[in-house]
Amino acid sequence: MEQTRAELERRSPFVPPHRVLEDLTGIRGVHVREPGEQASDLAVAAARKAMAEAGAGTADVDLLLFASCCQDLIEPATAHIVAAKLGLGCPAFDVKNACNSVLNALEVAGAFIECGRYRTVLIACGETPTMATRWHLPDEDTFIRALPGYTLSDAGAALLLTAGPAGENDPGLITTVFGAHSAAWNACTVESGGSLHYRPVDDEPTYVRLNGDFLRDTVLDLAPMALEHARSELESVRRSAFIAFHQISRRHYDEMCDGLDLPADRCLPAVVDHGNTASASLPLQLVRAREADRVEPGDQVALIGMASGFSAGLALIRL
């Protein structure tokens, strides 16, 4: 967290004690985009890697979904900017649901492929949430409200889904389940850019802010509630070779393992070294698991998402 602390020391009248960010969050470091690098650039870089690994060219992609909390512009959809940079001529649109954006895009892509509408769908994600970090802190109370911003990391991710055999042991999307408790939408917000604060007169609406204890009052209480109707799928999750779930902090990681009774030896606390990468967090964990030889073709993998709003969901896939 040295870069984060250095920014606070440079810009802010209030600076928390040394190492307090790491002590509070368990996060050792975060990633920040290069100057001038956009959400679409991060998505394009990841998409190119995914397409190259799959041996797919631009003509093979039938639909592009840009799935992210972040965006280049309010209009047009960032999907079109990504498509233009990749040289794609297929339909493109955004899927946006805070940190569940990629997981929801997976559900959308699976439905399109299953019904025969498209054969190959590219999901591209570009997250630049460090833009919502509050660097000017007048006092400690403001620091506590703005704390989530210091855990955020910029990242790109991509998934390529294509139609194939649908046998019991064939690779593909097995199932998805989603739930929501939308009355909790105000628990964690970035208010600017929409009709509520389209042109804010001060900086306050431009920062990610915690309205209450998001971890205690929302995530740990509402995630099981939102997934109540998915009890049978949760049993399948626990039997999976690897389980990825959205991670806010190290404390959140540990308490989610306990709260959902997840086997810790099949999870990965990626948040410690990479921070909260928003909707890129699930693909990031899959990449890290594959690099560590913790998963192989034929394995069942579980993805669990949680997002401001509040929504929760899970997907089971076979590699």
The pLDDT assigned to 172 comes to: 93
The pLDDT assigned to 226 comes to: 52
Round to whole Å and give the CA distance between 197 and 195: 6
Last residue of a domain, one of 111, 133, 162: 162
- Which residues, 6 or more positions from 312, have their beta carbon under 8 angstroms from its beta carbon? 100, 178, 179, 180, 222, 223, 226, 227, 304, 305, 306
**Domain membership flag for residue 167:** no
The pLDDT assigned to 198 comes to: 80
Query: How large is the average pLDDT for residues 92-121?
Result: 97
The answer to whether 250 and 269 have CB atoms below 8 angstroms apart is yes
Dump pLDDT digits (tens) for 240-292.
999 999 999 998 899 889 888 899 999 999 999 999 999 999 999 999 999 99
Which segment of 17-21, 97-101, 137-141, 252-256 scores lowest on mean pLDDT? 17-21
Longest dimension (CA), the chain: 61
Residue 214 carries which DSSP code? I
The pLDDT assigned to 228 comes to: 61
279 and 311 housed in the same domain: yes
What band does 17 get if pLDDT is binned at 50, 70 and 90?
confident
294 and 254 housed in the same domain: yes
Query: How large is the average pLDDT for residues 306-313?
Result: 89
- Which residues, 6 or more positions from 276, have their beta carbon under 8 angstroms from its beta carbon? 27, 129, 148, 151, 152, 153, 247, 248, 249
Here the tokens at position 301 are 């993998």
The pLDDT assigned to 71 comes to: 96
89 and 185 housed in the same domain: no
| pLDDT above 60 for 87 | yes
The answer to whether 90 and 96 have CB atoms below 8 angstroms apart is no
The pLDDT assigned to 201 comes to: 72
102 and 183 housed in the same domain: no
Dump pLDDT digits (tens) for 31-46.
999 999 999 999 999 9
27 and 107 housed in the same domain: yes
154 and 10 housed in the same domain: yes
The pLDDT assigned to 243 comes to: 97
> DSSP strand E in the chain: where?
63-67, 92-95, 120-127, 155-162, 172-180, 188-189, 209-210, 242-245, 300-307, 311-318
| pLDDT above 60 for 225 | no
221 and 117 housed in the same domain: no
What domain count does the chain have? Answer: 2
Query: How large is the average pLDDT for residues 189-193?
Result: 84
Query: How large is the average pLDDT for residues 204-219?
Result: 65
The pLDDT assigned to 13 comes to: 86
Round to whole Å and give the CA distance between 130 and 151: 9
Q: Which domain range does residue 180 map to?
A: 172-318
Last residue of a domain, one of 137, 162, 187: 162
Last residue of a domain, one of 108, 136, 162: 162
Q: What is this structure's pTM?
A: 0.92
CATH label of the domain that carries residue 141:
3.40.47.10
- Distance in angstroms between the alpha carbons of the first and the last residue of the chain: 34
**Domain membership flag for residue 241:** yes
214 and 295 housed in the same domain: yes
214 and 309 housed in the same domain: yes
Round to whole Å and give the CA distance between 1 and 275: 9
Please give the torsion angle defined by the CA atoms of residues 64, 69, 70 and 73, in that order, rounded to the nearest 10 degrees: 70
62 and 96 housed in the same domain: yes
Query: How large is the average pLDDT for residues 117-124?
Result: 98
The pLDDT assigned to 1 comes to: 66
- At 58, give phi and psi (nearest 5°): -60, -30
143 and 179 housed in the same domain: no
Rg (CA), the chain: 19
| pLDDT > 70: percent of the chain | 93
304 and 198 housed in the same domain: yes
**Domain membership flag for residue 311:** yes
**Domain membership flag for residue 294:** yes
The average confidence (pLDDT) of the chain is 89
